[in-house]
Amino acid sequence: MTAGAMLEPTQLVVLLLRLAAAASLGSILSRFSAFQRMLMREERTLVQRVKLALGCSVVYGAGVATRVFIPTYQAVDLGLEGSLVAGMVGGYVTGLLSGVLISIPAFFNGELMSMPLFAGVGVLGGLLRDVAPEKEDIWRFSPLFSLSPVRWRQRSYQFRMLFQLGCMFTIVFAELLRLSVARLFPVPTKGGVFCLAQIWGTPHLVTAIAICASTVFAIMLPLKIWNNTRNEKKLEAQQLRLNEARLAALTSQINPHFLFNTLNSVSSLIRSNPDQARSVVYKLSSILRRLLRNTDNLTPLRDELAFIDNYMSIEMVRFGEKLRFIKEIEPGTLDRMVPSMLLQPIIENSIRHGLSSKVEGGMIRVRTWLADGKLQLMVEDDGVGIPETRLATLFEQGIGVSNVNERLKVLFGQDYRMWIDSKPGEGTRTGIEIPEVQVATGELTAV
């Protein structure tokens, strides 16, 4: 091969810069949340297709405009590639509209054939989308094929590879079509359409292959970047569903536990005091109705405290004057969002393990206040306390405390604190610190 048939260093640099520009433009688009939502949809309405086309047109059209105003910036003109990839992702309407809009800077620069060429290539991208065996095959496009004989014997893989080859040949055809249009419609000092091969003179075989290869990779790169964005969003959605499932499982542990202990209280009262047993059953039914109605993971603190009032009224029927309940609530905390059933397991532990064995009974105090914008919750009792050996493993044992801690961890990650301080014979304090949270369309955000 003669030296004249080789790529010149400047040409190689331009081709490499094209790939860098393709990756950059794809990354810019993937950072917009609206564009990310579009990528997550395989079926789109007409309005959504138009919005997708506008997003692609702004970015890729800016590249064309840059080359028009600064002719030395040849590498950033990816108008044909942007039109084709828009059609592959969004279909005919998106590809056609993207091609028209992307070509506007070139069209007003006298490159009149850019608009019909880009529009036609965009429609061609929509055709590729339609003939894909599966919509996911668009995102899997790559000129690099597996050489494993085992995979090639699979019929589904054979169809997939035929589609990948069809995509690659279509892209090469689009590049050769651009070169043909540039030759057929020359204008003074400009081509009918921008084309690297035309600018560099009659291309040698190596030059033509290199340009076509760069076009293939310039389309593959944004597809891979956008597919990575889709996968990240899918993982986030799966993690959210997993967290919701974990919360549901943890909550289902609490409710039967609470119900079991309350029914034990009722059974102990049936013979000794039927009227009190009837009153407890009535209050229990009110609590269960609230539990059945409330399916949210978060609830205002005022609702949580109302639930605690109902719960304590049941326990005070059982213990009588031996149990005292005190609340010290700052008014500014009542509208803060807290996990549902947050305080009840802690108070239940205080009664069951701290006060039930004391002949004289005892006191439970619930306090809430704000400190540095965070909600502080404190549950105190003057019960028998917790031995130091058991205190060290309390978060790993039992249902109540470990359950609350696990739910806080699922909801807030590292943005919360929970601690227990206890002295045998004096009582126990359980503290919780959580950030302010905002609930919006299935999302929880710590402030």
Task: Look up residue 377 and give its two tokens.
Answer: 């919750």
What is the band of 242 on the pLDDT scale with cuts at 50, 70, 90? low
> 444 vs 33, which has greater pLDDT?
33
- Place 278 in a pLDDT band, splitting at 50, 70 and 90: confident
Task: Give the pLDDT mean for 71-84.
Answer: 91
**Spatial distance between the Cα atoms of 267 and 261, rounded to a whole number of angstroms:** 10
Q: Are 129 and 166 in contact (CB under 8 A)?
A: no
| Burial classification of residue 241, based on how many CB atoms lie within 10 Å of its CB (0-12 exposed, 13-18 middle, 19 or more buried) | exposed
Does the pLDDT at position 410 exceed 70? yes
Say how far apart CA 68 and CA 105 lie, in whole Å.
Answer: 7
User: Tens of pLDDT along 283-334?
Assistant: 788 777 766 665 567 889 998 898 888 888 877 876 777 888 999 999 999 9
Instruction: Look at residue 143 in the predicted model and tell me its pLDDT.
Output: 81
Percent of the chain with pLDDT over 90: 34
d(CA 130, CA 351): 66
Q: Which pLDDT score is estimated for 291?
A: 65
Closest alpha carbon to 214 in 182, 245, 250, 174: 174
DSSP state of 300: E
DSSP annotation of 150: H
What is the pLDDT, as a whole number, of residue 168? 92
pLDDT of residue 431: 94
Q: What is the mean pLDDT of residues 435-444?
A: 60
Residue 3 pLDDT more than 50?
no
Provide the Cα torsion 369, 371, 376, 380; round to 10°: -70
Q: What is the C-alpha to C-alpha distance for residues 402 and 337, in angstroms, rounded to an integer?
A: 21
Amino acid residing at 254: I
Six token digits for residue 32: 């917009």
- pTM greater than 0.85 (yes/no): no
> From residue 123, how far is each of 173, 182, 194, 201, 367 by CA, in Å?
14, 20, 19, 29, 66
* Mean pLDDT taken over the chain: 83
Rounded (10°) angle between helices 9-30 and 46-69 = 150
Tokens 């069209």, residue?
107
> Taking the CA of residue 352 as centre, how many other CA atoms within 13 Å lie in the half-sphere pointing to its CB?
17
257 confidence band (pLDDT: 50, 70, 90): low
Cα–Cα distance measured from residue 102 to residue 58, given in angstroms and rounded to the nearest whole number? 7
Q: Using one digit for the tens of pLDDT, what is the confidence trace for 220-235?
A: 999 999 999 988 888 8
* pLDDT beyond 60 at 255: no
Report domain extents, the chain. 3-236, 273-446
* Residue 144 CB-density burial (10 A; 0-12 exposed, 13-18 middle, 19+ buried): exposed
Beta strands in 314-390 (DSSP E): 323-329, 337-339, 362-371, 374-381
Question: Exposed/middle/buried for 352, CB within 10 Å: 0-12, 13-18, 19+?
Answer: middle
pLDDT at 446: 57
Please report the pLDDT score of residue 24 as a whole number: 92
pLDDT at 332: 92
Each as own residue / partner, the long-range contacts of residues 22-27 (CB below 8 Å, 24 or more positions apart, any chain) are: 22/78, 22/81, 22/217, 22/218, 22/219, 22/221, 22/222, 23/221, 23/222, 23/225, 25/59, 25/60, 25/63, 25/78, 25/82, 25/222, 26/221, 26/222, 26/223, 26/225, 26/226, 27/225
- CATH architecture of the domain with range 273-446: 2-Layer Sandwich (3.30)
List, for residues 147-186, the tens digit of each pLDDT value.
Answer: 666 666 677 767 788 888 889 999 999 999 998 888 887 6
Residue with tokens 């807290």: 338
- pLDDT tens for 323-381 read 889 999 999 999 999 988 788 888 888 888 888 777 677 899 999 999 998 999 999 99
183-214 residue pLDDT tens:
887 655 556 888 887 777 666 788 888 889 99
Per DSSP, the residues of 64-80 read HHHHHHSTT-GGG--HH
Confidence of residue 240 (pLDDT cuts 50, 70, 90): low
Cα→Cα distances 437→99, 128, 295, 387, 405, Å? 44, 45, 18, 35, 17
Q: How many CA atoms lie within 13 A of 379 on its CB side?
A: 20
Mapped onto helix, strand or coil, the DSSP state of residue 178 is helix
Using the structure block, give the residue that is written with the tokens 């006191």. Answer: 363
Neighbours of 380 (CB within 10 A): 20
Question: Which residue in 199, 181, 180 sits closest to 189, CA to CA?
Answer: 199
Least reliable range by pLDDT among 86-90, 109-113, 115-119: 109-113
